[in-house]
Structure 1
Amino acid sequence: MFSKKSLVKGIWFKSIGWKLTLWYASLFMLSILLISFFLYQRLEFQLHQEVDLFLADEMNEFRQFVIEHQDNLPLIERQMQRESAAIRKHYQMYYGILDAKGKTILQSSEFHLPVSKSRSVDSSILVDSDVKEYEINDEKDTYVVRIATRSIQSQNDFICYLQMGMNLARIEKTLSNYCKNILLISPMFFILSLAGGLFLARRNLKPISHIIQTVSRITVSNLKERLPMRGTGDELDGLAQTFNQMIERLDQAYQKLSQFSVDVAHELRTPVTSLIGEIEVALSRESLPKEYRTVLSSNLEELTRLMSLVNNLLFLSKNENPEQVKDRKTIELNEIAHDIAELFKPVAEETNVTLSTDILPIPIYISGDKWRIEQLISNLLDNAIRYNRPGGSVIVSLNQNERYAELIVRDTGVGISEEEQAKIFDRFYRADPSRSWNSGGFGLGLNIVKSAVEDYSGTISVDSQLGKGSTFTIKLPLQSHFRSSILKP
């Protein structure tokens, strides 16, 4: 999604998409935890607040009852038990009445105040105050109780202390269930965050994938192609605009360089042609001294090589012109291959190399420029003969399948090392510079071949071993409306 197939099939966790997904999932889970903690605190506060309000209301009602019936302890005790039993259906309530010294006068059966070792009540709980929370330990269990304490007075005379408490077991259970539910749904949230992060990462990085695909298509032959602008004005549009500006500068620089090469080649072609003509005229004179003839023959040979270099440069310049590449016609490949092979047979015989053909005896049509195809085959045969050994052989084969014409040039020459096979198609690359120069090569032949093959949407490959020879295989797309005639005589 984020690049070419090699990136998609690679180790995805190293990609930006994976990192963004993890960041999104981590931030999402952190947000969930913070929100859950905040809600837990709010829930705990509100539950305790409701308990405190309930205790305050009950305290006011029971306090008034105690004031009205302060001389009737049995009645107060019965009312205490009735209140405790009625509320016990929902919450566990505790009631207690103490004197000024903290001695228990009345209390509900479940109420046990925190006491010291002397069995006297802690004086801190005998002070009028807001509701306090205590942890009470008995023989069976430990529980948390919120206790409210109020003094009861009648006409400024102290009567007693009234205490009410509520066991927070249900509230603690509610809070515990809340935490368990959060832990239970956390994995689901994490999976959802990963899925959401992956979706957002792919969606946001999809334009980058398009940029990568477009950039991978831009070569020397199509520097006019530009990255599409989405018009959003974001960073990706800025990146595309910057890259387009860079390609524009490269295109201008390349056009100037190509034009310079063409101009230099043209400027050299005229004087070199003139020199070759003059030397050939001079060599045609029988009266020319032998010493001069030797020097002029050597000069003629070097000028011929220089002219070959000039012609190759002009050929490359023509190949890299998009308008020239578009000028294609239907040509019969087997006829061209046969004619070029026949043309090179005398050259092969001079070097004691056998040149043979194995060409399918039916028309094979492709779309292209006849001159470029001739140059392509000529360069392959020239290399196969030039770097062959005396008594060696060169075989030119031509076949076709459903989609491609397959041209194979196989020789028994010196071969190419595995390290050099990746470089032989580079411009001006020569495996052995001294040998290539002495044999008339400039390192442009295979580059011209590769350039032509790629312009015609074909492929070229080489299989070679040192000392055993080389095999060059070229596949060129068949002309579409001739594909149905495959294998029909």
Structure 2
Amino acid sequence: MLLLGGLVASHFVASRLAVPVEKLALDSEENRAQRKRAEAALASTSEQLKRSTRYSADASHQLKSPVTLLRAGLEGLLAREDFKREIYEELSALLHQTHRLSGVIDDLLLLSRMDAGHLELESQPVNLTADLYIAGEKRYTSLIVQNLLENARRYNRPGGLIRVTAHRERGEVVLAIGNTGYSIPRDAQEHVFERFHHSSTGSDVSSHGLGLNLARNLARLHGGNLRLVGSEKDWTEFEARFRITAQTPDGANQTI
């Protein structure tokens, strides 16, 4: 009787356990299927990003040569002396636009190299100010500062102010560049570093929307960062951080 009761109990327990075990098996198969779908989606997205990066780089390279030829042709025409004044003005305006287009192409090429992980830095001590040295490559740290100054100039008001300060802070050099002018709306501030973003500041300033994105990517590549400190009323300020480094021997410093 006891043996029969034990067999019945064992059968009951086994039947109760069979359902969870089967459910676990189904869940495991579903998890594997979901993981495979996620991996396939990730691989597809990665390949699309690679194609996009290659396309951006290829398109920029293809545009560079004709723009260079166009600029040279316009410069040749401006060197002539048999045009009316209004013709020179038109040619000068066109030449200015070719310089802007060349800048966009150069920025896109640089961003494409960073996106693909092909931009390598030759880090050396760079003299940011009189006694502050940062670790980086001069041409790229200079580009960061140049883009921030150009942004401050472009969005300033007539007769406005640009303030540049730099100081040490916990092993970093903090560079702050602020300017008077139209403030950036609060709902647009989180987007200022996005590529091709144009802030609705109330001004009619024209820009290609790559400068701040490029500057922040370069700052991060140098082990630092770039952020918007604030923008309200008549003042907008950005802050770039760089890794501090020791001064090099005399004659070996690179000054921005």
TM-score interval, smaller chain: 0.7 to 0.9
Query: Equivalent of 2:134, from 339, 356, 365?
Result: 365
Alignment of 1:435 onto 2:230? no
Cα shift at 1:410:
1.6
Query: Equivalent of 1:451, from 196, 217, 230?
Result: 217
Kindly indicate whether the alpha-carbon contact (under 8 Å) linking 2:134 and 2:243 is maintained by their aligned counterparts in 1.
Answer: no
Q: Which amino acid aligns with 2:224?
A: G
- Alignment of structure 1 residues 22-421 onto 2, 5 Å: 239-324=34-119, 326-332=120-126, 335=127, 337=128, 359=129, 361-366=130-135, 368-421=136-189
With the length of structure 2 as denominator, give the TM-score of the two structures.
Answer: 0.75
Cα shift at 1:300:
1.6
Deviations 1:184-203 (A, max 9, x none): xxxxxxxxxxxxxxxxxxxx
Consecutive unaligned residues of structure 1, counting only runs of 5 or more, are 1-232, 338-358, 484-489
Whole-angstrom distance in 2 between the partners of 1:251 and 1:374: 32
Cα shift at 1:235:
6.1
Consecutive unaligned residues of structure 2, counting only runs of 5 or more, are 1-27, 248-256
Which has more radius of gyration? 1
Cα shift at 1:279:
0.9
Deviations 1:373-423 (A, max 9, x none): 111111000011121123322122222223322111122222212221111
Cα shift at 1:477:
3.2
Whole-angstrom distance in 1 between the partners of 2:160 and 2:97: 28
Kindly indicate whether the alpha-carbon contact (under 8 Å) linking 1:430 and 1:436 is maintained by their aligned counterparts in 2.
Answer: no
Secondary structure of the residue aligned to 1:322 is: coil
Closer, same or farther: CA 245–273 of 1 in aligned 2, 3 Å: same
Closer, same or farther: CA 234–460 of 1 in aligned 2, 3 Å: farther
Closer, same or farther: CA 256–435 of 1 in aligned 2, 3 Å: same
Q: Which has the higher contact order (CA 8 A, sep 6+)?
A: 2
Q: Which amino acid aligns with 1:276?
A: R
Whole-angstrom distance in 2 between the partners of 1:376 and 1:420: 22
Cα shift at 1:252:
1.6
Deviations 1:236-283 (A, max 9, x none): 666555434333222221121111111111111111111111111111
Percent identity over paired residues: 25
Kindly indicate whether the alpha-carbon contact (under 8 Å) linking 1:392 and 1:413 is maintained by their aligned counterparts in 2.
Answer: yes
Kindly indicate whether the alpha-carbon contact (under 8 Å) linking 2:192 and 2:199 is maintained by their aligned counterparts in 1.
Answer: yes
Closer, same or farther: CA 467–295 of 1 in aligned 2, 3 Å: same
Cα shift at 1:427:
0.6
Whole-angstrom distance in 2 between the partners of 1:281 and 1:251: 45
Cα shift at 1:284:
0.7
Whole-angstrom distance in 1 between the partners of 2:142 and 2:113: 15
With the length of structure 1 as denominator, give the TM-score of the two structures.
Answer: 0.41
Secondary structure of the residue aligned to 1:411 is: strand
Kindly indicate whether the alpha-carbon contact (under 8 Å) linking 1:394 and 1:411 is maintained by their aligned counterparts in 2.
Answer: yes
Secondary structure of the residue aligned to 1:436 is: coil
Whole-angstrom distance in 2 between the partners of 1:385 and 1:241: 51
Residue number in structure 1 paired with 2:251: none
Q: Which amino acid aligns with 1:250?
A: T
Q: Which amino acid aligns with 1:297?
A: S
Q: Which amino acid aligns with 1:418?
A: R
